Chains A and B, each alone.
Chain A
Amino acid sequence: MFITLLHFNRHSGIERNMRKKPLLTTVLLTLFTFQLSLQVAADSDYKAPRGPGGVNPDLNGIWQALGEAHFDLERHMARASMALREAPLGPVPAKRAVAFGAVGSVPPGLGVVEGGKIPYKAEALKIRDENRKNWLDRDPEIKCYLPGVPRATYMPYPFQILQGDKDLFISYQYASAARSIYSEDPGPAPIDTWMGQSVASWDGDTLVLDVTGLHPGTWLDRAGNHHSDQLHVIERYTPMGPNHLKYEATIEDPQVYTRPWKISLPLYRRMEADFQILDFKCVEFVEELLYGQWRRNPLD
């Protein structure tokens, strides 16, 4: 395992640091790092090339998350469906979900929440559990609503960061979601929006996006994790290597959680030559679901 990990980390900062340490410490560090594999690897000493403007690292590119955070931010085992119902011999998919078979099942995940669990207030946890029971009716993703922040980041679709000399913009393939980014704080958001109001600053080579004014209609994942209009997200994007970013988000909402909490996960550059974002508006795909019963000749 030790040798495998050294090989895996060949180009990361971890291995360069390890070389300087005595063997025992290295072995302990390796085991410790493996245990924390659900968190992103410790700060590397990678220095990214500068972006346009020559000051900040170049984040231009099309990025995408891997993993299962979009199903459930918390550590979870695989299960038959996001929509389950009680049955005599154990839970089974809800009637509307049975036809999807294994395609509708939920893969397991080690979780991206630091500390493991989201620190819900008691009433808010009840709402989360009700959201889970009523997933098909409540998850805004099913209706192709704009996903909000941070969910847009780890949905399983690419997004493009465009970085000019001073300006930044993020364009998501999913639902044509888009985030204009302020370089100076314009003050409180005049109105709540689905994708929030983002203000950028740089902390060394880390892009910090301070996000407020988020519409309470978004969820954080498919597992019913929710928030109020008091949600405040601070995102951090840090280059880890030429094709990896470390993404962290501190999430606070005094109405819903007992304290701020944090997620972290890697973002991967889409490496395919001539890769580009294509249209995935998805609005037209939910018309039958939302309006089918009011057709002149309903199909069912």
Chain B
Amino acid sequence: MKIKVLSLLIAATLSQSLAADIPRTANGKPDLNGNYNTATLTPLQRPIAFGDSLYLSKEAADKIVAAVAAEKAEGDKQIDGDREAPPAGGDGSQGAAGNVGGYNSFWIDNGDSRFEIDGKFRTSIIYKPDNGRLPKMLPVAQKRLSKLYARYAKKNTGSAWWLETDGPGPYDGPESNTPSDRCLQGFGSTGGPPMMPVLYNNYKQIIQSEDHIMILVEMVHDVRTIRLNSEHISRDIRKWMGDSIGHWEGDTLVVDTTNFTDTPGFGRATRDLHVVERFTLKEDNTLHYQFTAEDPNTWSEPWSGEYPWPRSDSPVYEYACHEGNYAMGNILRGARILEAETTQKAKN
């Protein structure tokens, strides 16, 4: 009788340390299968004004959410058919009338709420360093990035300014564009790793077997294949989203990724990026996503972030980017036309 009571107590204790309320696969692991919407209004980096405050009050969070909702409602209003055209060069706004590349609010799907973890709102996804911002960048990285993003340093003036500068121009060829404009990877590190919320197409699907996990990243129909209880491939094989191996630590899936190409999804990093992610299914069936990233060529220290992935009934849509990449041809042809016009003007 004593033994029976004891074993019941032990069973009760054990079942509490492995959350009994989450769905599980036949082999007892947390069931991560399903779709997730990873959009959130909480930014990656903490606005400097918040200092070292990790948490945001509910009042402050509600205010931000209401302001965003109001902005979207304004943007969703039917446009006056009799309005005047925006001025040449755009009206300076973020929207469609701003400049080349502006989006009507219809296209934006970046979430309508800020996330809570354990009932508290956060000021940022990053929680380490303590200021919630990316660590100081190494001088070698600053130099590298200033060259890489030369195109974005210059405003679009409607003329081929690069003809006056030395070195490669911003639109010399398809390879001059970002991997996302080339339809090789989704922008904003949506596939990463680490995987970030972006402007739209924030959906992910996870499929899970006993020795593999696959994560379908909506943009650009990219599949992260995580081999469980395996080893990294040879250093001379590189992958756009790195090589991922994983294992279970209790109910947490731990994923280690290395072997990136020279252009990892997290654009500031290099091929030596190393990411460790931890996926934990919470009792409310939300997936908790935590990660630590380090790159000896980019940052002085590792940095960490976390945010929840709520489940979604929405399908993951096919993002057939390359098949419809009219923009690439237009970008290059546009640049050639600007060059011809600029050269002609200089002659006249």
Contacts and interface: CB of A to CB of B under 8 A. Distances in A.
Interface of A: 52-54, 60, 144-146, 160, 162-169, 171, 176-178, 180, 186, 193-195, 215, 217, 274, 276-279, 281, 283-284, 287, 290-292, 294-297
A48 to B, nearest CB: 15
A278 B259 CA distance: 12
Interface in B50-93: none
Contact of A278 (B27, B237, B323, B336): B237
B184 A284 contact: yes
Contacts of A52: 25-27, 209-210
Interface stretch (B148-156, B170-178, B284-292): B170-178
B207 A144 contact: no
Given A163-B209, A168-B207, A178-B221, A281 B315 contact: no
Nearest to A217: B323
Contacts of B301: none
Contacts of B237: 278
A51 to B, nearest CB: 8
Given A163-B209, A165-B31, 13 more contacts: A167-B34, A180-B316, A195-B318, A274-B230, A276-B225, A276-B227, A277-B225, A290-B174, A291-B173, A291-B329, A296-B336, A296-B339, A297-B172
A168 B316 CA distance: 14
Contacts of A60: 209, 211-212
Instruction: List the 9 closest A-B pairs by CB distance, nearest first.
Output: A294-B332, A193-B318, A287-B174, A169-B207, A296-B172, A295-B173, A171-B223, A167-B33, A283-B322
B328 interface: yes
Contact of B182 (A217, A277, A278, A284): A284
A94 B320 CA distance: 31
Contact of B173 (A167, A281, A296): A296
Contacts of B277: none
Contacts of A287: 173-175, 182, 328
Contact of A178 (B223, B240, B323, B329): B223
Interface residues of B, number: 50
B97 interface: no
B209 A279 contact: no
B306 interface: no
B195 interface: no
B191 to A, nearest CB: 10
Most buried by B among A145, A146, A168, A291: A291
A129 B335 CA distance: 39
A292 B220 CA distance: 23
Given A165-B25, A177-B221, A296-B169, A194 B318 contact: yes
Contacts of B8: none
A277 B233 CA distance: 11
A194 B323 contact: yes
B214 interface: yes
A193 B324 CA distance: 12
Q: Which of A165, A168, A186 has the most CB of B within 10 A?
A: A165
A213 to B, nearest CB: 10
Nearest to A163: B209
Interface string B167-203: 0010111110000001110000000000000000000
B208 interface: yes
B240 A279 contact: yes
Interface string B332-343: 110110010000
Contacts of B128: none
Nearest to A51: B209
A300 to B, nearest CB: 13
B216 A169 contact: yes
A278 B241 CA distance: 11
B256 interface: no
B329 A162 contact: no
A120 to B, nearest CB: 25
A16 to B, nearest CB: 31
B225 A160 contact: yes
A295 B322 CA distance: 18
B174 A279 contact: no
Q: Which of A144, A215, A279 has the most CB of B within 10 A?
A: A279
A165 B223 CA distance: 20
Contacts of A290: 174, 328-329
A252 B82 CA distance: 49
B240 A186 contact: no
B219 to A, nearest CB: 12
Contacts of B27: 52
B247 interface: no
Task: Find the residue from B169, B173, B336 having the highest chain A CB count within 10 A.
Answer: B173
Contacts of B322: 144-145, 283
B216 A278 contact: no
A146 B323 contact: yes
A224 to B, nearest CB: 19
